[in-house]
Amino acid sequence: MGLELYLDLLSQPCRSIYIFARSNNIPFEFKQVELFKDSVLGKKPAAGSGAEQPRAGPSNSEGAGKVNLLKKVPALKDGDFMLAECTAILLYLSRKYNTPDHWYPSDIQKRAQVDEYLSWHHANIRANAPKTMWIKVLIPLFTGQPLPSEKLQEVMEGLSTSLKQFEERFLQDKAFIIGSEISLADLVAIVELMQPVGVGCDVFEDRPRLMEWRRRVEDAVGKELFFQAHEMILNIKEVLLKWQALQSMPDPHLPSSSAQTSTAQNYRQSQK
């Protein structure tokens, strides 16, 4: 049995693994997990209910739950070996498939810089950026009410502090976090920063240095792959409307459909 990756591309850590595996031509079986249906809201269609899947193909959440006892995605299964946690999975793949050195350099100081970023990331960017999704999308979806704008402002202030540190401490005037080549640090950072973009909080706007770095990361992994990995999050409204129709829920106060469509369209336009 070959390598299996349990992923939902709505999830940032899943996108980093997907992009890494695809851009390094690592062969794997994509096991689709559907967070909205199976996990976040804790609902599963009754067995035999015939409920239509909002996305193509069956969801593998039960399989994922067995692979990752923490019941989160991403999860990896390689034969009998199972692994959770995005960082551990990325490192495992880079070592097993001997990916190009720049991803996780053999130079111990450069490698330490990747490690340094990965440690910092979890308590800073990762601690702030996903909250935009909860405030703009998930809480309104659950409650049917938008949250007061001060809540979003609070989160955006926390995120701004992290972004300032990211630019000044990690990116500085380099092309990528550890210098002239992309590493796992850039990949883990970019997928997280695309989450707010998807829900209408464009953190790249008015941050030219960050925007230039994003373009370099897109070029390094390939724009087509980058867009494919982010297509769902850039169209989150449509994904949720489909899911919501299946659940027969009332219309939540979500970002407007046209705003979301234009996020994806704008990205496409900017690639031409």
Ligand X SMILES: N[C@@H](CCC(=O)N[C@@H](CS)C(=O)NCC(=O)O)C(=O)O
Q: Which is nearer to ligand X, 12 or 94 (CB)?
A: 12
Contact 251, 241 (CB under 8 A): no
DSSP character for 60? -
Please, what is the minimum distance in Å from the beta carbon of residue 126 to ligand X? 8
Q: Which is nearer to ligand X, 72 or 237 (CB)?
A: 72
Among the candidate windows 22-30, 44-52, 70-78, 203-211, which touches ligand X by CB under 6 A? 70-78
Residue selected from 39, 99, 132, 162 as contacting ligand X according to rule CB under 6 A: 39
**Interface characters, 84-123, with ligand X (x: CB under 6 A):** -xx-------------------------------------
Exposed e or buried b for every residue in 202-234, given b needs 16+ CB within 10 A? bbbeebeebeebbebbbebbeeeebeebbebbb
Nearest Cα residue to 192 out of 174, 166, 168: 166
**Kindly report the CA angle at 214 between 175 and 152, in degrees rounded to 5?**
130
Q: Which is nearer to ligand X, 85 or 115 (CB)?
A: 85
Cα distances (angstroms) measured from residue 174 to each of 50, 76, 120: 53, 33, 18
Sign of CA dihedral 207, 209, 215, 220: negative
Q: Which is nearer to ligand X, 181 or 191 (CB)?
A: 191
Contact 239, 10 (CB under 8 A): yes
Which pair of structure tokens corresponds to residue 194?
A: 């695309």
Contact 35, 71 (CB under 8 A): no
* Stretch 1-20 residues interacting with ligand X (CB under 6 A): 11-13
Among the candidate windows 69-77, 107-115, 169-177, 204-212, which touches ligand X by CB under 6 A? 69-77
Please, what is the minimum distance in Å from the beta carbon of residue 255 to ligand X? 19
Residue 40 as a binder of ligand X (CB under 6 A): the answer is yes
Q: How far apart are the first and last CA of the chain?
A: 41
Residue 235 as a binder of ligand X (CB under 6 A): the answer is no
Name the residue whose CB lies closest to ligand X. Answer: 72
Residue selected from 3, 21, 35, 118 as contacting ligand X according to rule CB under 6 A: 35
Q: Which is nearer to ligand X, 72 or 102 (CB)?
A: 72
Name the residues that contact ligand X, by CB under 6 A. 11-13, 35, 39-40, 72-74, 85-86
